[in-house]
């Protein structure tokens, strides 16, 4: 993990938090905000996974309740050289997934029921491998802490709107308070984006290597991208500060919360995976939309007849909400 980059990111968010506190209550408000930020960081370090999983109503599953899913996670974790993470399922129709936890020993992978229904086993393997890559890169703590502080900045800015600034401490007044309410969350989002793109590309690359076939992840990304704009994720819309945690931005894009993208474009991510597939000597289509099955071999020691639905990631983008009528999970 790049500790300098992490420290800079958290310092930037803390500075934003203190700046909003200063606008609300002057020097005293800034100090209070600093104390709150420190307490938030400490609390989030120990409770980040429980907070986010609870927010999305995720429930833990095991080999008795979800044997295929848990078995797949266990196999891929072994290939990645990681401890077995806890596995959670979210009752959410939008296909998506995220990982969380303060370190690999206390990590969790969460997938939606929509992801289970719409992806083939190979595509799901690509998605889970991507999330395991985040765990191996120690991204999960950073993502959750960032989401928590960014959300706190947004709430504090809105809270300050009710006070209209602290005029006794040369506060900004009502006009500047309105600007603060608008600009502070945007500033927090920009800080979040500072590492988001390289983090996603790195997780795609390592995840593809863990799964053994880059095009499985490429197909899954395009399918999820299309569905994310057709199937709203209500909880994500209420908590846009957590959007960067998901493998694909879960926001519908209908509001200003999608003014800045939290992820690289799916097209660019797929192109990078195609290039990796060529470098690894894997079977890669000239176009992700090519109507053919991706390699039938499976990294779990047996052949698999299930490739991406119709073998077409581009077709998934045009009709990803329908995808396969049912996935390989029942």
Catalytic residues: 131
Between CA 21 and CA 16 the distance in angstroms is: 9
Say how many C-beta atoms besides its own lie within 10 A of residue 15's C-beta.
16
DSSP element (H, E) containing 98 = strand 97-101
Closest to 221 in 3D by CA, of 235, 240, 234, 208:
208
Instruction: Decide the pairing of beta strands 107-112 and 59-61.
Output: unpaired
Reduced to 3 states, what is the DSSP secondary structure of residue 287? coil
Tokens describing residue 54: 């609870």
Name the strands in the sheet holding 107-112, side by side, starting at the edge strand that comes first in the sequence.
59-61, 86-90, 107-112, 97-101
Q: Angle between the 266-280 and 214-228 helix axes, to the nearest 10 degrees? A: 170
Closest to 320 in 3D by CA, of 147, 148, 66, 115:
115
User: How many alpha carbons fall within 13 Å on the CB side of residue 253?
Assistant: 13
Whole-number Cα distances in Å, 254 to 149, 185, 216, 246, 265: 24, 18, 29, 18, 17
- What is the sign of the dihedral through the CA atoms of 145, 151, 154 and 159? negative
88 bridge partner residues: 60, 110
Closest to 158 in 3D by CA, of 123, 130, 182:
182
């Amino acid at each position: 993990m790049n500790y300098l980059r992490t420290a800079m990111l958290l310092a930037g968010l803390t500075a934003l938090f203190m700046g909003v506190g200063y606008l609300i209550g002057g020097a005293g408000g800034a100090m209070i905000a600093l104390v709150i930020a420190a307490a938030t960081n400490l609390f989030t370090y120990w409770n980040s996974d429980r907070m986010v999983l609870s927010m999305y109503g995720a429930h833990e599953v095991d080999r008795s309740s979800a044997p295929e899913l848990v078995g797949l996670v266990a196999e891929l974790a072994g290939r990645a050289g990681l401890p077995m993470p806890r596995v959670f399922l979210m009752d959410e129709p939008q296909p998506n997934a995220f990982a969380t936890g303060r370190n690999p020993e206390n990590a969790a992978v969460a997938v939606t029921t929509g992801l289970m229904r719409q992806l083939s086993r190979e595509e799901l393997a690509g998605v889970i491998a991507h999330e395991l890559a985040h765990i191996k890169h120690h991204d999960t703590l950073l993502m959750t802490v960032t989401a928590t502080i960014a959300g706190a900045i947004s709430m504090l800015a809105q809270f300050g709107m009710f006070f209209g600034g602290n005029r006794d401490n040369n506060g900004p007044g009502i006009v500047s308070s309105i600007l603060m309410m608008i600009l502070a969350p945007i500033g927090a989002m920009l800080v979040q984006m500072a590492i988001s793109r390289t983090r996603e590309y790195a997780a795609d690359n390592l995840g593809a290597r863990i799964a053994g076939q880059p095009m499985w992840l490429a197909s899954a990304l395009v399918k999820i991208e299309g569905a994310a704009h057709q199937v709203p994720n209500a909880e994500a819309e209420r908590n846009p500060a957590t959007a960067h945690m998901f493998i694909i931005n879960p926001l519908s894009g209908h509001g200003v919360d999608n003014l800045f993208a939290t992820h690289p474009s799916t097209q660019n991510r797929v192109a990078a995976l195609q290039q990796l597939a060529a470098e690894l000597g894997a079977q890669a289509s000239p176009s992700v939309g090519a109507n053919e099955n991706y390699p039938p071999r499976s990294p779990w020691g047996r052949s698999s007849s299930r490739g991406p639905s119709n073998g077409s990631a581009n077709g998934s983008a045009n009709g990803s909400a329908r995808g396969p009528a049912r996935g390989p999970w029942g």
